[in-house]
Structure 1
């Protein structure tokens, strides 16, 4: 049942992201065509700035979901209700904190932008984005029980409806009015409607959540949540600085136009990342239930199988990004919006490095490890900011992402080997380091080899070039990864057998 639920969650996630990718591309083309690349830049910039306010969430959601696994498995509805009521109170407070801190940011907005020339006042545009974030916090806590109960596909369905009506509505508004404020109004209204839908769905599936007759949380659970929150706040800060400051740095040092140009690549990269991560992250709840069984041998086996699949997916996808992204951007948005070859190479490497974190992160979150490595994100953040600023002066745009790669090495050097491999999985740290280094070598070999082979055929048609590059990148990446790593792992056979059995079971063969 856990495997089947994970499969449904993955399938729903894949469908969701494929559709939202198409909607995002069409929506982005409309913004650039009707308003200009700078407006797309402001979209991306404010997205980064407001992600900073997610620090106010403090990781409460992760801590609550961790504690929901056991009572949901045991059918302890009173414990679930107590956790959800506590969660609701926390998120109302968080929404207020986000609003207050968001308003306090307004006087400093000009610090993030080089040469602002848009028609509307900067603060006025920012208010709409802030309203979207605050409204989502008022209702988002109901998502948690669906996710913890392995019903994430229902959340994705609601998100899909939101994406469809908001993106299409925004395109229609731009076509009719050419007004960015109307465009933002559609975003806020659609977000509010989505959250009402999820709230109603959760109340219908879990009617016991209604009312305020729940008992207080047990002191042991409350103390554990507090400890995890203390650790999570550092992870929130670190996560924002490492992964959420790229557009801020680009805007500050290179301007809104460069933010807009990079955002075209980030749309493609983040879309692929979301698809890849969805295949794996849909298993988080299942992993949480499995770790609750305290079967170390089973946990190690499942981890290795997931890691083989995860690295394969990100390995092939990263090579594809390097070979296909530039001709795809040229086709969709125009040749004037492409980045340098070196910048794209660094972006592809960064994609692979971040992708390798996926399974480690799943097991880390499912095991409730938030407090133990609370200071690591601060160190990672400091390295990221310092390295990015130093390297951008020498390597330009690529230097920002080189700083992200360097800072990620701290996680691979401490958190994953010692807190996940050694503590949770009882594995061998030396084997871990050797494998990670070898996987990076294989990835670099695939990037260089596939790019060279793609260059052997230069075609006049961008569509044919994209098709050729896709085929070459996937074939080369697959062969190098399979022959250089996967074929030697006994878990590969187990993984293939499980995938075959699951497919036959679902098709009733």
Structure 2
């Protein structure tokens, strides 16, 4: 019965997460389109650069939210209200420190470093004000974020997701209207601050209603040993996620530095927005699997854990192949239709972006296991090496080959250290399986993905040119059909394919 409950919650959270992500997709593209058309290409580039710069600044929070959930699994399972209350009180204190530390760092970056990474014709006084208000949206978020952790620990991710979606629809809609009516970026940023405040308020109201004992947590004292355990969890988490964040944010920064035009950052940002959308969809599934797997891991049954992991791999990897195939089939037409011909990158850049996206998506199941079990200490040092080499390779290759070099240089270390090394280490610790078995399974999945994407690309490139919108829709449908057929052919004898069909059948019956 417990397994059914976990499976049901995992699937339900995934569905809600994907529905929310689809809404977010529409909003993000609407925001991007209206920024370009109402505020201009340079504001579009600034918006993208600000986002990546803030992501680097937000490293101080990295690991805290995941550590919260990891240490809440056990007391939530045992309904230990006293321990939960102490943990939430401690998390509140931590997030207050993070919020004000983030604001201080934001002021330092704004005053001393912004001039060196922004090349624009926009008045720099205005740029400094814009960046400060962009940073304030994250400051507002940190002030009231701490209670969300219990929603993930008890597999109520969907509540957090719904609150975020409602806030995005309302406030991003208002932000778009303000951009059209005023042509002023500052008002746009004010609505982003309101979005964060509203989202956290909804979650806090829900948590207080479901857990009345959490209405007042100020003054609760967590034992010293518990605090030390949390910080021991945070340290490797911080290293892992810091490395990934720095590497992921380096794209826009290196493009701005080496290619010398803030508008080019916006061109790349349009593609990155599509990729981030796909990653957002999959992160919802990964988050749901993390919560489910975290509860399962408390039973320490490695056989069941490995079976759950491989089932998730089959489902998420199959969807990854379909998404990547659809991306290569439609992305150029989409960018052309939505943003115009001047925003279309060359096919080499697009191919590298697709390969990087595939690697990222294939990594999600094993990273979810690592997050659920708190195994970030297994490869913390290696992740630092990955980030350093990625930035060095991206910078060096970018000076020689431009954007293609930047993208390739940042992707290769991820393949070596995350897809291969992390997978081997985490699989061995979590499930006790050999490096050979992991590499065999992952190599097979990667090869399937490359073959499916390649076949779809060849077929779609043979399409005759006609109405751009109809052509894009036809290519999208063809990519889904071909990739779906190929996945079935490749998986017909796969035991997890049969298990997945059985689970879906049972869920539909319910």
What TM-score do the two structures reach when normalised by structure 2?
Answer: 0.95
The CA deviation string for residues 257-284 of structure 1, in whole angstroms up to 9 with x for no partner, is: 1111111111211112211332332121
Partner of 2:445: 439
What SS does structure 1 have at the residue aligned with 2:257?
A: helix
Q: Match for 2:20 among 10, 16, 20?
A: 16
Is residue 383–residue 407 contact of structure 1 (8 Å, CA) maintained in 2? Answer: yes
Partner of 1:152: 157
Partner of 1:27: 31
How does 1:210-289 map onto structure 2 within 5 Å? Answer: 210-212=215-217, 216-254=221-259, 255-289=261-295
Residue 101 of structure 1, CA deviation = 1.3
Partner of 1:99: 103
Residue 63 of structure 1, CA deviation = 1.2
Partner of 1:496: 501
The CA deviation string for residues 385-412 of structure 1, in whole angstroms up to 9 with x for no partner, is: 0111122233321222212321212123
Name the CA distance, whole Å, in 1 between partners of 2:54 and 2:467: 40
How does 1:21-420 map onto structure 2 within 5 Å? Answer: 21-106=25-110, 107-118=112-123, 121-212=126-217, 216-254=221-259, 255-408=261-414, 409-418=416-425, 420=426
Deviates more, 1:72-81 or 1:112-121: 112-121
Name the CA distance, whole Å, in 2 between partners of 1:54 and 1:434: 36
Partner of 2:473: 467
Structure 2: give runs of 5+ residues left out of the alignment: none
What TM-score do the two structures reach when normalised by structure 1?
Answer: 0.95
Is residue 45–residue 269 contact of structure 2 (8 Å, CA) maintained in 1? Answer: yes
Residue 116 of structure 1, CA deviation = 4.3
Residue 347 of structure 1, CA deviation = 0.6
Name the CA distance, whole Å, in 2 between partners of 1:179 and 1:215: 45
Residue 118 of structure 1, CA deviation = 5.0
Is residue 242–residue 407 contact of structure 1 (8 Å, CA) maintained in 2? Answer: no
**Closer, same or farther: CA 399–317 of 1 in aligned 2, 3 Å:** same
Name the CA distance, whole Å, in 1 between partners of 2:419 and 2:28: 33
Name the CA distance, whole Å, in 1 between partners of 2:121 and 2:378: 43
Name the CA distance, whole Å, in 1 between partners of 2:124 and 2:427: 53
| Number of equivalences | 503
Name the CA distance, whole Å, in 1 between partners of 2:138 and 2:85: 26
Is residue 331–residue 462 contact of structure 1 (8 Å, CA) maintained in 2? Answer: yes
Residue 491 of structure 1, CA deviation = 1.9
Deviates more, 1:449-458 or 1:349-358: 449-458
Residue 120 of structure 1, CA deviation = 5.3
Residue 115 of structure 1, CA deviation = 4.0
**Closer, same or farther: CA 446–58 of 1 in aligned 2, 3 Å:** closer
What value does the CA root-mean-square deviation take over the aligned residues? 1.7
The CA deviation string for residues 160-180 of structure 1, in whole angstroms up to 9 with x for no partner, is: 111111211012112221111
Name the CA distance, whole Å, in 2 between partners of 1:28 and 1:66: 35
Residue 219 of structure 1, CA deviation = 4.2
Name the CA distance, whole Å, in 2 between partners of 1:53 and 1:436: 33
Name the CA distance, whole Å, in 2 between partners of 1:217 and 1:178: 49
Is residue 362–residue 419 contact of structure 2 (8 Å, CA) maintained in 1? Answer: no
Is residue 82–residue 216 contact of structure 1 (8 Å, CA) maintained in 2? Answer: yes
Name the CA distance, whole Å, in 2 between partners of 1:79 and 1:128: 37
Residue 467 of structure 1, CA deviation = 1.6
**Closer, same or farther: CA 138–433 of 1 in aligned 2, 3 Å:** same
Is residue 174–residue 183 contact of structure 1 (8 Å, CA) maintained in 2? Answer: yes
What SS does structure 1 have at the residue aligned with 2:376?
A: coil
Partner of 1:481: 487
How does 1:418-437 map onto structure 2 within 5 Å? Answer: 418=425, 420-437=426-443
Deviates more, 1:450-459 or 1:42-51: 450-459
Is residue 114–residue 253 contact of structure 1 (8 Å, CA) maintained in 2? Answer: no
Residue 98 of structure 1, CA deviation = 0.6
Residue 193 of structure 1, CA deviation = 2.5
Name the CA distance, whole Å, in 2 between partners of 1:405 and 1:360: 18
